[in-house]
Structure 1
Amino acid sequence: MAAGPQAGLEPTVNAPARTLEFDWPMIKVGTASYEAGPTGTTVIQFDRKVYSAIDVRGTPGTVNAPYMNMYYDLPELDTVVFAGGSWYGLEAVTGVASALKDDGVRDGKAFGVTPNIAMSVGSIIFDFGSRRLNEIYPDKRLAQAAYRATKPGVFPLGATGAGRFAKTGHFFGCNAYSGQGAAYREIGEVKIAAFVVVNAYGAVTDRQGRVAACYPDPAWPEELRDNPQTTELLARFAEMQEKKLAGSADGERDRNTNTTLSLVVTNQKLTPVELKRLAVQVHASMGRALQPFTTMYDGDVMYAVSTAEIEPKMYVPEIGAIAGEVMWDAILSSVPEQPQAATPADGPVLGADALEDLEGDYRFSQFVTVRVEAEGRRLKARAVGEREAYAIGKDGFTELKPVSETDFMVPGRYPLTLRFADEGRLVINPGHWEQVGKRADD
């Protein structure tokens, strides 16, 4: 059997990140990523089987969702798995289930009314297309590495795990980097935790109505560029869209594929119907933090879990109101620090001979190759593969502005830096979200 493009990739497990620490031994969390993607997965494991429900908005990729809508009054759920990789990433969900069997946690034997079979549910986000220059996905091996690294009381925040290459705000053209978030609260004996992977078409909005992260459009009014407010962006959206359509011959609009994955957990015992209504209520509340929410281009899913550790203390609407606030905190915690555009040098940095040494075709995947050519003391690039490489298009060459002897940039709304590294490597957007290409014949 021929080796696939993922052969030899090594999982990065529980990478250093900002974290939420919480006191709930029942819940264990593990993350893993393929940094060559980059893409990843997040596994939330419960110390024993728990009750679950689901609320689906749109058409997200899910595993075992229909079964969760059967309203069986049985604690059957072992793990919730979130992953990148679109449909391919669903392998991560079933991979965790088989790991539970392989490790002897579940063996299929019958005890009481149900067999001792692992139940793993989960969903994926879309992190392909123009976002990444390859199609590496979270597979069974990566998911099992995350599962076997789970530990209680720690949830990594930001662009890690399943949120490794999430983005938000495409509705407004923000295209901000996103990630995964979590929050936790105790009200007397009642515990509530919220976990989320934010890959929304809308923009993350804080409690003051500000957009949490955005690359503003230079055509926006100055007050919106300096301090984007979701309310103002929506109020002026018709006006801005009218101008946009007037400047386009065919009226074509941007599209994207988005999903927000969420999980709310309480230790209070709930009936199947109560758990379902909790999922619906908290899911609906997320429209405050993500605006607009559940659009045609969003496939959102909310899982609700009861660990049933305590008898009822609060009514479900009361738990839902608090959980909605906890979920808003979780969404805000998902936002990572945004990369900034490099500042070009005042003039040429390298001589003509040095620039010629950088020439070549740099292959990022079977889909994307970037051709670099020198022209005197200027450097230019063009995508010659099947797809474009961000602002480096296929129709013509794009000039690369020098920043240093190794770095070049392309001016525009979104930061685009190119770094020529050793061993014939070209790194686009070096840093946490970098994409690496290798020069042909090197």
Structure 2
Amino acid sequence: MRNLITDVPGIHVGNAHDPAAASGVTVALFEEPAVASVAVLGGAPGVRDTAALEPEMTVGAVDAIVFSGGSAFGLDAAGGVMSVLSMRGRGFAIGAARVPIVPQAILFDLNNGGLKPWAHGGGGEPPHRRLAAEAVAAAAPDFALGTAGAGYGATTANLKGGLGTASAVTRKGHLVGALVAVNAVGCTTVGDGPHFWAAPYERDGEFGGLGAPRHVPASALVPRFKGGPGANTTIALVATDAILDKRQAKRLALSAHDGLARALRPAHAPLDGDIVFAAATGRRPISDPIYDLAELCLLAADVLARACARGVYEATALPFPGALPAWKDRFGHRGG
């Protein structure tokens, strides 16, 4: 166990980013098509091909899940992944044709100081389709966290956001992992201190080992927001090696949203596009469709909460005037 979503057999992750533009792409690539669903609870989502993931829809499995910066400009990234996978012979067979199934979610990073003329009236092509192809080529069991991939340009209300991951094992041996790009409208930390809201779920000092604060000051409960409508989104994938159908995967995605609520204040706001995909690589059956699934759902929420804190903990600040500090810039002397 490396505490990565790739501890779940059948998943590789690749990142690519453009430092000048301060935006990037992350691709979760499945070795074989994976049963998947999605739950959207934020008020301002940006997605591609997610309707096919509803349990009543025909498509049964996906080839990859894509996270991208760039807001709606970044929705080209799925096309870049599809092009590469098509050349590899991947996709849903329709006669002689194959169509790779590549759902995507985007986050808003257009005003973080990076050079994005294509978003500010200057023309040119967004880099996300190119970055997506690079991310597929880079997909591997190990990958960078923090200011990497789709988390490169991510921010929160008070600190640099980033790409996070975590994993766990159920009592019957099923693996569960989470991958998240944290670009939240609110905070992952308690007030102005170093402690994470997700502290009760931390394992092995993965985001500093400080534990929870002795008490939560009233000032930490005062609403604190970043940006405006469409300027935020936390996008996530939870995955398991269990054999699930789309109905069960939908339940897994819904339950995993609890992890966002444990790690972010607020979550699921009108200003956010909070989205969780769920995927099952189908390596191990479950013996009890109720309680085994319930434990998978519980752990999915736990690992997602941990992944959110870890994404912020591992981030580094962008090198632009006025950029938000990273957690380690402010509190690194306190961490483990």
Once the two structures are superposed, the pairs formed by residues 196-275 of structure 1 within 5 Å of their partners are 196-205=180-189, 211-212=195-196, 232-235=218-221, 237=222, 255-256=227-228, 257-275=231-249
TM-score (norm 2): 0.77
Name the residue aligned to 2:69.
Answer: 84
Cα shift at 1:320:
0.8
Query: Whose helix proportion is higher, 1 or 2?
Result: 2
Please, which of 288, 310, 313 is the counterpart of residue 333 of structure 1? 310
Cα shift at 1:25:
4.0
Q: Secondary structure at the match of 1:37?
A: coil
Paired with 1:254 and 1:62, the residues of 2 have a C-alpha distance of: 21
Larger radius of gyration: 1
CA change 1:272–1:88 in 2 (3 A) is same
Please, which of 128, 146, 154 is the counterpart of residue 139 of structure 1? 128
Please, which of 147, 154, 159 is the counterpart of residue 147 of structure 2? 159
Paired with 2:175 and 2:106, the residues of 1 have a C-alpha distance of: 27
Name the residue aligned to 2:163.
Answer: 180
Paired with 1:60 and 1:46, the residues of 2 have a C-alpha distance of: 24
TM-score (norm 1): 0.59
2:266 partner amino acid: P
CA change 1:26–1:53 in 2 (3 A) is same
Paired with 1:55 and 1:189, the residues of 2 have a C-alpha distance of: 25
Kept after mapping to 2: 8 A contact 1:210/1:230: no
Please, which of 82, 85, 89 is the counterpart of residue 104 of structure 1? 89
2:137 partner amino acid: R
Paired with 1:83 and 1:110, the residues of 2 have a C-alpha distance of: 31
CA change 1:288–1:155 in 2 (3 A) is same
Paired with 1:90 and 1:195, the residues of 2 have a C-alpha distance of: 19
Aligned residue pairs total: 291
Cα shift at 1:270:
1.9
Higher relative contact order (CA 8 A, sep 6+): 2
Name the residue aligned to 1:324.
Answer: 301
Name the residue aligned to 1:29.
Answer: 13
Paired with 2:258 and 2:63, the residues of 1 have a C-alpha distance of: 25
Once the two structures are superposed, the pairs formed by residues 378-417 of structure 1 within 5 Å of their partners are none
Cα shift at 1:150:
1.1
Please, which of 265, 271, 276 is the counterpart of residue 291 of structure 1? 265
Q: What RMSD, in angstroms, separates the aligned Cα atoms of the two structures?
A: 3.2
Gaps of 5+ in 2: 118-125, 198-212, 326-336
Cα shift at 1:84:
0.7
CA change 1:277–1:19 in 2 (3 A) is closer
Cα shift at 1:293:
0.9
1:279 matched to 2:268? The reply is: no
Kept after mapping to 2: 8 A contact 1:260/1:300: yes
1:121 matched to 2:84? The reply is: no
Kept after mapping to 2: 8 A contact 1:157/1:181: yes
Paired with 1:48 and 1:262, the residues of 2 have a C-alpha distance of: 20
Name the residue aligned to 1:64.
Answer: 49
